[in-house]
Amino acid sequence: MSRFVYVNGQYVPYADAGIHAEDRGFQFGDAVYEVCEVKGGRLVDETRHMERLARSLRELKIAEPMSEGAWTRVLRETIRRNRLRDGSLYLQVSRGVHRRDFFFPPAGTPPTVVCIARNASPAKAEATAAKGIGIKSVPDNRWARCDIKTVMLLPASMAKEAARTDGANDAWFVDAKGFVTEGASANAWIVDKEGRLITRQIDNVILRGVTRTTLIDHLRREGIELVERPFTIAEAKAAREAFITSATSIVMPVVTIDGVTVGNGAPGLLSLKLRAAFHSAAEIAAV
């Protein structure tokens, strides 16, 4: 639980961390966000997360709310005030507060900035990874700019809820041609019967996952071949291994898809190897 939340320049107690009723994020989903892993009190892949945040803001023409140096201080101060060891930081920037209007507010309207700390149990995550997770596939009903990390997460929320109703842990979006685009809040990967590692290439229908990018760096260094192409949900069900990547799940093995067992039903060897190696490949911030 976050004890102090950064809201527009102040660290306020969690119970008092409110924003205005006419915030653009609340009324229009007009906001972008990042989730950055914190491990041992240190940010993981801060540079890439902050670069992606800057890109999301540019794409939506939302003003950058503060300098790089100010961001660095806010992130570290949020970790410090919450005594966060393991978990994540959630940062959100909206276009700000204005009388409800579809047109953008006047230039100079200050963006709303929020930073929330959240702890997570590494032991619990390892126990989940040792078992693997179940996936439900759902039609991808999101917009055409999923490369921008906006807070318009209702399709993802509904997909995850549908997965839970079916006894699965998470959801994968599938396009009209049967190709997996990505997970509801993660990128999707498979290892086919021949042992080839496959993930979708980056385009505007998926988020350019930071975990994905860092893992690709690691694969290159290790000389592990990667094929970047779309794969179908049928290929995934017939795969030897499957996994997801995100800042909160790192590399999480997938053992069932729509109730079909993937491989031998246990987390894949490559998936577990990549999970174990991930943090050695990531940028770990100085305290």
Report the catalytic residues: 149
Q: Which is nearer to ligand PDD, 87 or 263 (CB)?
A: 87
Length of the chain: 287
- Smallest separation, CB 103 to ligand PDD (Å): 28
Contacting residues toward ligand PDD, per CB under 6 A = 35, 182, 185-187, 207, 209-212, 245-248
Shortest Å distance, C-beta 33 to ligand PDD: 7
Torsion of CA 22, 152, 119, 57, to 10 degrees: -80
Q: How far is the CB of 207 from ligand PDD (least distance, A)?
A: 4
Between 112 and 181, whose beta carbon lies closer to ligand PDD?
A: 181
Q: 127: which residues sit within 8 A by CB, 6+ positions away?
A: none
Rounded distance between C-alpha atoms, residue 157 and residue 160, angstroms: 5
Question: Closest distance between ligand PDD and the C-beta of residue 211, in Å?
Answer: 3
Closer by beta carbon to ligand PDD, 100 or else 154: 154
